[in-house]
Structure 1
Amino acid sequence: MLQKTKNKYTVETLKALNVSYDHDHRLTQEDTDMVNAYVELIEETRSETTPQVGDRLIYTDRHGSHYGNALIEKAQEGGLVSVCEEPYIPFLWKEDRNIRLSVSGGAFHSVNPQEMKFVRWTEGAFKDWGHCGACANGAVAFTARVPLWSYSEPEPLYGKFTTETYRRFYLHRKTDADAGNLYQGDGIAFRDETEFRQFLKDYEGTVFKGNWENQIVVWCFRREYVFLPSAEWARIDVPAEERRLNFHPEQVKIVKDMEKHTTCFYRIQSQNFQHIKSN
């Protein structure tokens, strides 16, 4: 069990987290006392063995979507808990010697807490109405130490692939002879099979069957662009290759990081920026 923190915040340190609130309502000692009482309550009710409302969670669903800051929202019947994938900072109140939450965000899932694994301690953000009550910009935010757990839904559809370190595309393959791209997806397209196969090679792509006819799911490395002066670019010890970037052919040097699942394209600098990453 984590030892609770006594008087974690002063008025000044709490102001640093609530600049807008302080500007509109003037953060007071009353607000600080409220927050410090909450911090003590939260931290004295946490443990590394039993997930609690307000704990954070690394959540991965069957489709490989990874959420690194999910939240245990509330207890449910049958011993399950409700988990929010992408929560806003939750409102809290004291009830039954613990905290309860009002959570906005989504989506929500029912999970057996006994299947969660403790990862480490982390800082969780919370808020409650300040001395001015429920009003515009009237909430005071703070953090407290809470456990971070992990949970992955069983029977993943794509094995090891998750959006934590890979990119995922849902593509539709045309079957008619009309002009246009052969493969089309959200923010990505390929004119023909040759272009698509080159993409798979460059980004270590793996293709899975989709959810309906003519759909495929592609998991691949993330992309990174590094712009270098021509002299530095020439010293990169890999062969130059031609790729169409921004609809124009360009000489690039390609280096892959097999551990971080990233394909880096070294390009000759022609702009002020030097680094572009794509998630």
Structure 2
Amino acid sequence: MLQMAKNKYSVETLRELNVSYDHEHGLTQKDVDMANSYVELIEQTRSEITPQIGDRLIYVTEDGDYYGNALIENLHHTNKGHLSICEQPSIPFVWNDNGNIRLSVSGGAFHAVNPKELKFLKWTDGSFKDWRHCRACANGAVAFYAKVPMWFYSEPNPKYGNFTTETYRKFYFNKKEESEAGNLYQGFDIAFRNEAELQQFVEDYEGTIFKGNWPTQIVLWCFRREYIFLPLPEWEKIESPAVERRLNFHPEQVKIVKDMEQHITYLYRIKNF
């Protein structure tokens, strides 16, 4: 159960969230009163049972794309009874509409979701903003936080099982004919010259390959990668065999350690700087 805040902000605490605004326009007590009024309105209209405009949610698409701070931004304009969801919202502008809030937000993409399919997870801090005494101008909005529910929704029929971008990486590759020049597998920001390079990557990063959207496309899900640079004496103590890998187009001796729970492949590199 949410414990609603009353007079959550003072000039000092609200100034910490609005440094640029205060520098250019001077944060006032009226700005504080506005923020506190919105906080009370937002928090007194929240529910753990009914999703509402202004609530946040974790949204997972059928392609496994994970959005951890999506926003319920409106009632959907065509699907009656559905909510409009923004995957990656900016801080929304808020206003009072007959005792409830309405929002204006940029970002995307936008989806229609049946509120009955959302699952309550927890309470979280949601950010909001509104124009203040200087009206609409550069750095003219005051931002603040209010407690709102965090919901969960995953689109049905996921294409790739339990893989999501929350803890995995996803790559799309087009495969060329063996006789064509250039890389055999070409992605947006990664490529493999031949089948051996692809399979080495799959081994290093616990990869799983799926068929793509057309015959020459594949989808590769794999562990995330983190580099750890160590002085040579410390690097030699890592209990893993040294192997050669091409990093930034150059061969390099590394040691590979995998975190199977967090889905991370650590590459220990020798610190030369």
Same fold flag (TM > 0.5)? yes
- Structure 2: which 5+ residue stretches go unaligned? none
- Structure 1: which 5+ residue stretches go unaligned? 272-279
Match of 2:271 in 1: 269
Match of 1:128 in 2: 130
Match of 2:16 in 1: 16
1:78 is paired with a residue of what secondary structure?
Answer: coil
1:20 is paired with a residue of what secondary structure?
Answer: helix
Cα deviations by residue, 1:179-207 (Å, 9 ceiling, x for unpaired): 21100001100011111110101001100
1:236 to 210, 226, 238: 238
Write the mapping of 1:249-260 to structure 2, written as runs, cut at 5 A. Answer: 249-260=251-262
- Distance in 2, matches of 1:242 and 1:24, equals 54
- Distance in 2, matches of 1:62 and 1:162, equals 9
Q: Does 1:107 align with 2:99?
A: no
2:239 is paired with a residue of what secondary structure?
Answer: coil
* Aligned Cα root-mean-square deviation (Å): 1.1
Does structure 2 retain, via aligned residues, the 8 Å contact 1:173–1:184? Answer: yes
Amino acid at match of 1:145: K
Does structure 2 retain, via aligned residues, the 8 Å contact 1:3–1:44? Answer: no
Match of 2:56 in 1: 56
Does structure 2 retain, via aligned residues, the 8 Å contact 1:93–1:100? Answer: yes
- Distance in 1, matches of 2:69 and 2:223, equals 23
Write the mapping of 1:156-175 to structure 2, written as runs, cut at 5 A. Answer: 156-175=158-177
Match of 2:87 in 1: 85
Match of 1:65 in 2: 65
Amino acid at match of 2:227: Y
Match of 2:29 in 1: 29
Does structure 2 retain, via aligned residues, the 8 Å contact 1:118–1:149? Answer: yes
Write the mapping of 1:114-263 to structure 2, written as runs, cut at 5 A. Answer: 114-175=116-177, 177-263=179-265
Cα deviations by residue, 1:151-189 (Å, 9 ceiling, x for unpaired): 000000001111000000000000151321100001100
Amino acid at match of 2:74: K
Cα deviations by residue, 1:258-279 (Å, 9 ceiling, x for unpaired): 00001111111113xxxxxxxx
Cα deviations by residue, 1:30-60 (Å, 9 ceiling, x for unpaired): 1111110000000011111111100001000
The Cα of 1:135 is off from its aligned counterpart by 2.3
- Distance in 1, matches of 2:250 and 2:17, equals 47
Amino acid at match of 2:225: R
Q: What number of residue pairs does the alignment pair up?
A: 271
Amino acid at match of 2:189: G
The TM-score with structure 2 as length reference comes to 0.97
The TM-score with structure 1 as length reference comes to 0.95
Does structure 1 retain, via aligned residues, the 8 Å contact 2:178–2:184? Answer: no
The percentage of aligned residue pairs carrying the same residue is 68
Does structure 1 retain, via aligned residues, the 8 Å contact 2:240–2:255? Answer: yes
2:27 is paired with a residue of what secondary structure?
Answer: coil
Match of 1:38 in 2: 38
The Cα of 1:107 is off from its aligned counterpart by 0.4
The Cα of 1:213 is off from its aligned counterpart by 2.1
Of 95-104 and 243-252, the range deviating more from structure 2: 243-252
Amino acid at match of 1:114: K
- Distance in 2, matches of 1:52 and 1:260, equals 33
